Amino acid sequence: MTESVRERELIQKAGKAKTAASSLAKATTEQKNKALYAISEQLINEQAFILSENHKDLLAGKENGMSESLLDRLKLNEARIQDMADALIQLMDLDDPIGGVIDKWKRPNDLSIAQIRVPLGVVGMIYEARPNVTVDASSLCLKTGNAVLLRGSSTAIHSNKAIVHVIRQALEFSDLPKESVQLLEDTRRETTSEMFKLNEFLDVLIPRGGAKLIQTVVENSTVPVLETGAGNCHVYIDETADPKMAVKIAINAKTQRPSVCNACENILVQRNWASNHIPDLITALKEKEVNIHGDETVQQTGTDITPVTEEDYGTEYLGLDVAVKVVENVEEAIQHINQYGTKHSEAIISSSMDNVEQFFTEVDAAAVYHNASTRFTDGFEFGFGAEIGISTQKLHARGPMGLSALTSTKYVVSGSGQVK
Amino acid sequence: MTESVRERELIQKAGKAKTAASSLAKATTEQKNKALYAISEQLINEQAFILSENHKDLLAGKENGMSESLLDRLKLNEARIQDMADALIQLMDLDDPIGGVIDKWKRPNDLSIAQIRVPLGVVGMIYEARPNVTVDASSLCLKTGNAVLLRGSSTAIHSNKAIVHVIRQALEFSDLPKESVQLLEDTRRETTSEMFKLNEFLDVLIPRGGAKLIQTVVENSTVPVLETGAGNCHVYIDETADPKMAVKIAINAKTQRPSVCNACENILVQRNWASNHIPDLITALKEKEVNIHGDETVQQTGTDITPVTEEDYGTEYLGLDVAVKVVENVEEAIQHINQYGTKHSEAIISSSMDNVEQFFTEVDAAAVYHNASTRFTDGFEFGFGAEIGISTQKLHARGPMGLSALTSTKYVVSGSGQVK
């Protein structure tokens, strides 16, 4: 591609998305759901085409020495396409946030003010080699009346092109503009960098992927970013914690799915609880083949304990490793969490409501838990029916983001000739 | 100041603000209001000191050829200090948003989830030579449990140091840490640039001032920015507009206070309305000494009409100039507004509810008005009792921002041993 063609693609597609966004903002719930249904059907109708294009990416990936886990993320099959189609049908059932009245009131001068939900406009989505995100992002944006400019990985380009082709075929059977979904085919770094500065066309950028991708987007974008961050989550077992419950929650938070951001990386144990019950915790962790990094007290409980380091406390292992530290009290636990945590999900297991209250107030995190696993920080577990991601930033949206995270608001003011 | 001292000041003060933020997050409404009251009293007690320090800035400003209007913004007197003290007392009366439950629900697995309001943490405020912003920003941050790192103008440094000294004297009589309010005394550009990247300590940056300042912050910050933008606002007079009401609103929106962002810069007139009534509008504008930039139809109404240019349509005059354009219908008005507007405040004057509905849905702006002046886009006019600024961005807060714009949220989840 020559430079001018490259620039034309980015600007043209962003411009088309912006034009489509105006139509989308007016679309009814029925029109949007009809489009989601059409896409669901078309994904199944065209699955042979999608799978054969996906096969090209898989072959290239293997040739280029892509790891097994990355190849697995890249791979589509009939079951996975069926999952995508089913998710679209489920999305139809969710309430349409657009047009919803958040608040309304009347002023002494008789002006009526209403704050209503509106789409953001154009969403820029930057993600790694997971073709399911192409469907997921497009459908969540359409449901909320937003156009989307997709920038996927070059290693998934055939899959993404095929999926976007199919989505746009489906949109032609609907009342929504097919220009609502745009895929950037030029995935070069310098083009992505231009996307970071495309404030004229993009209302928000959402990076979905590893910490490095998110960091790059946050550090370089002038377009506002919806940041989904890392999770260095803790379970604090307080002095009065029920021993069985504490062990059950710690094991679940650590081992049920260690590779995700709401998994526990760090168990803090109050000293008196530890004196009586820490062997039970250690035994249970070892049964699950967890590699324990412990402080001196923990090391005394047996062999196979790796001495914990300062670095461990700041590490999101995303695997079967855990740091275990004995603390004196809830204050020390809170202080440790606020120092090393990533403000994601933090749990206290305790029977002392005073300590729970203090933990809830003083721990700075998107979600704080009492007597429950950190693994519940999830849009579906929270009952949102969809998830854009889990925000660890404090502006706009914090914690699991449902459809409303893809909306903005507008004040609608009705008068009868009022002037100031 | 040597380099190391300079760096120490920024990092030390940001660090102290962060530490103070932890205490502030726990402060009760009573404690916060007590602090606001103490500051109000201390401003009056120490006004001689503040005025004498302000006098130093004024003298330096005159010596350096500062303009009269800037000197006026910089100037404090007894009345202005009384205004600041009164505003603090009014702020005490406002509801404390912190701890408020936004929503709560129970999940089928019996987990109780509540979304509550919490402070943002540390607010970085970057502003121009207006010492009143020092009090305003500090008090709004304290009321919402946030610490603040202030970066004012070097031309107001004596005033700002005096005011912050007085605020911190008052905090010593309260239960809030005096470290809650930090003033950066080093106002060099390179230090401010470092502040843009201080994600470790700052949760948000708020620039208050001209378009250039805001642009610089938006384009260079990796810390999230609360953007208050320019207002190129329109009044559209529809075919069925009541002639007297239309002229009254257009005149008010244009002339009541032309220098502010919610003033009207552009009047769009439907052709049939124009045929009958445009002379009334032109006469009224001329009576207020407004310089009219008109299209060909408008030029035919008389002399003294400057031909309007493409550039005029995109200009926020902030003075007694206005662009007047004749359009065919509401669609053309909407299209013009979405092309040239800054998504701030847009009004339609009409008796056709269909056209109003279309205008409300299709105009992309923070506030849309029917039969009322754009001048009402204001935190006080909306009844918020305070105003952080008027956001023209779409994330976090849009339109006039009250206290809740300085808050984030936290999910508080209570269980009885639930695991996933």
A27-63 pLDDT per residue, tens: 999 999 999 999 999 999 999 999 999 999 999 999 9
**B397 in a domain, yes or no?**
no
Q: Under an 8 A CB cutoff, do B370 and A204 touch?
A: no
Query: B334: domain CATH number?
Result: 3.40.309.10
Give the separation between CA A282 and CA A90, rounded to whole angstroms: 41
Query: A111: domain CATH number?
Result: 3.40.605.10
The pLDDT tens digits of the residues spanning B8-46 come to 899 999 999 999 999 999 999 999 999 999 999 999 999
Q: Which of B224, B372, B377 sits opposite A415 (nearest CB)?
A: B372
**A247 in a domain, yes or no?**
yes
**A395 in a domain, yes or no?**
no
- Average pLDDT of every residue of chain A: 95
Question: Who contacts A140 (Cβ-Cβ below 8 Å, separation ≥6)?
Answer: A91, A386, A388, A403, A406
- Give the model's pLDDT for residue B7: 61
| B chain contacts of residue A398, beta-carbon cutoff 8 Å | 408-411
Q: Under an 8 A CB cutoff, do A395 and B218 touch?
A: no
Q: Under an 8 A CB cutoff, do B120 and A395 touch?
A: yes
Q: Virtual CA dihedral for A22, A26, A27, A28, nearest 10 degrees?
A: 170
Compute the 3-state secondary structure of chain A and give helix, strand, coil in percent, each to the nearest 5.
50, 20, 30
What are the start-end ranges of the H helices in A184-261? 189-196, 211-220, 243-255
Residues A49 and A195 in one domain: yes
Q: State yes or no: pLDDT of A3 exceeds 70.
A: no
Q: State yes or no: pLDDT of A420 exceeds 70.
A: yes
- Across the range A415-419, mean pLDDT stands at 98
- Give the model's pLDDT for residue A121: 97
Q: State yes or no: pLDDT of A2 exceeds 60.
A: no
Question: Which helix (DSSP H) or strand (DSSP E) does residue B49 occupy?
Answer: helix B47-63
Say if residues B202 and B233 touch (Cβ distance below 8 Å): no
Kindly tell me the sign of the dihedral angle through the C-alpha atoms of A107, A112, A117, A123. Answer: negative
- Across the range B121-140, mean pLDDT stands at 95
**A384 in a domain, yes or no?**
no
Residues B299 and B355 in one domain: yes
- Give the model's pLDDT for residue B227: 87
| Interface list for B 124-183 with A (CB within 8 A) | none
Q: State yes or no: pLDDT of A282 exceeds 80.
A: yes
The neighbouring-strand residues paired with B264 are B233
Give the separation between CA A150 and CA A125, rounded to whole angstroms: 5
**B395 in a domain, yes or no?**
no
Question: A38 versus A218: which is more confidently predicted?
Answer: A38
| Interface list for A 248-277 with B (CB within 8 A) | 248-249, 252-253, 256
| Interface list for B 366-385 with A (CB within 8 A) | 366-373, 375-377, 381-383
For the beta carbon of residue A7, count every other beta carbon within 10 angstroms: 14
Pick from A101, A394, A398 the residue to mutate for testing the B interface (most B CBs within 10 Å). Answer: A394
Residues A220 and A241 in one domain: no
Residues A171 and A242 in one domain: no
Determine the structural domain holding residue B291 and report its residue range: 233-376
Q: State yes or no: pLDDT of B262 exceeds 70.
A: yes
Pick from B102, B342, B393, B418 the residue to mutate for testing the A interface (most A CBs within 10 Å). Answer: B418
Q: State yes or no: pLDDT of A407 exceeds 90.
A: yes
Residues B256 and B189 in one domain: no
**B348 in a domain, yes or no?**
yes
The domain total for chain B is 2
Confidence of residue A6 (pLDDT cuts 50, 70, 90): low
Say if residues B122 and B146 touch (Cβ distance below 8 Å): yes
State the ipTM, two decimals. Answer: 0.93
Span of A106-120, A175-189, A203-217, A282-296 with lowest mean pLDDT:
A203-217
- Across the range A76-88, mean pLDDT stands at 96
Is some CB atom of chain B closer than 8 A to the CB atom of A242?
yes
Give the separation between CA B335 and CA B358, rounded to whole angstroms: 12
Question: Which helix (DSSP H) or strand (DSSP E) does residue A3 occupy?
Answer: helix A3-26
| CA distance between the termini of chain A | 56
Residues B220 and B132 in one domain: yes
- Give the model's pLDDT for residue B6: 58
- Average pLDDT of every residue of chain B: 95
Residues B159 and B303 in one domain: no
Pick from B375, B410, B412 the residue to mutate for testing the A interface (most A CBs within 10 Å). Answer: B410
Residues B13 and B144 in one domain: yes
Residues A270 and A188 in one domain: no
